[in-house]
Amino acid sequence: MKKKVLITGASLGIGYVLANRFSVEGSDLILTGRRNNRLEELGRLLQESNGTEVKILVFDVRNHDEVKEQLESLPEDWKAIDILINNAGLAKGLSTIDKGDTEHWDQMIDTNIKGLLYVTRTVSPWMVAAGKGHIINISSIAGKEVYPNGNVYCASKFAVDALSRAIRIDLHTKGIRVSQISPGAVEETEFALVRFDGDVERAKIYNDFQPLKASDVADAVYYMASCPPHVNIQDITILATQQASAAIIDRSGR
């Protein structure tokens, strides 16, 4: 699939695996994140192994000026983005509301909601002008169900769910598809490490069951992206077999 695909948060985790998947399938990539070294290394790897053309943009999705400036700096032909994957996101902390850390709340709201909005606000006019495009938001099971201590992270992903629906209403007459994927727990990511501020012991939340792999999410996203243009997969909720719902997990072993 020879497309131009912009992936936010491609330096590791689900975004990194998505980049590999779209590269193998023949797409050219705009890869973004805050960690330049990782992105450059990934870009080199994909260029060498698959001949992928890659543009690296380093910005923090929370900074509207940076988002606009970096995306606007793309050469005109690279602004013809076929697929925008809003993946950059994170959870910080896990606690009841009375003990919540307001800096964590700001970071989640600013990244998961406002970051997604800033990138979409910049890219969507290019898609509207082209009369085509596909926006794929990486939400979460946390955007479908709240779970104990998940309060603000869940709220931020409920917001992503609302925005996916709203943006679809806004853009469906412009030839633009809007899809969302809502995964349960996914390993091969730094998600848990980030949530627990680098506490390696606390981040060991996948030892006693088999969660999804980042490649499972990438497969589903690629499926959404490769459907014929008249088909829009609106939402895929995807959980590991051992995870029945956000909070019900069979932790009897892998």
Closest distance of CB 124 from ligand NDP, Å: 18
- Of 233, 238, 225, the C-alpha closest to 19 is 225
Tell me whether residue 147 is one of the annotated catalytic residues. Answer: no
Residue 127 vs 181, nearer CB to ligand NDP: 181
Given a contact cutoff of 8 angstroms between Cβ atoms, the answer to whether 59 and 31 are in contact is no
| Region near ligand NDP per CB under 6 A, out of 40-48, 87-95, 119-127, 128-136 | 87-95
- Member of 22, 105, 158, 191 binding ligand NDP (CB under 6 A): 191
- Residue 249: CA atoms inside 13 Å, Cβ hemisphere, count? 20
Q: Active site residue: 16, 118, 153, 206, which one?
A: 153
- Of 223, 135, 234, 219, the C-alpha closest to 175 is 135
Given a contact cutoff of 8 angstroms between Cβ atoms, the answer to whether 186 and 141 are in contact is no
Amino acid 209 reads F
Binding stretches for ligand 8X3 (CB under 6 A): 140-142, 150, 184-185, 246
15 binds ligand NDP (CB under 6 A): yes
Distance CA 103, CA 90 (A): 13
Question: What single DSSP character describes residue 244?
Answer: -
14 binds ligand NDP (CB under 6 A): yes
Closest distance of CB 129 from ligand NDP, Å: 25
Closest residue by beta carbon to ligand 8X3: 140
- Of 46, 78, 40, the C-alpha closest to 58 is 40
Residues lying near ligand NDP in the complex (CB under 6 A) are found at: 9-15, 33-35, 60-62, 87-90, 111, 115, 138, 140, 183, 185-186, 189-191, 194
* Residues assigned a catalytic role: 153
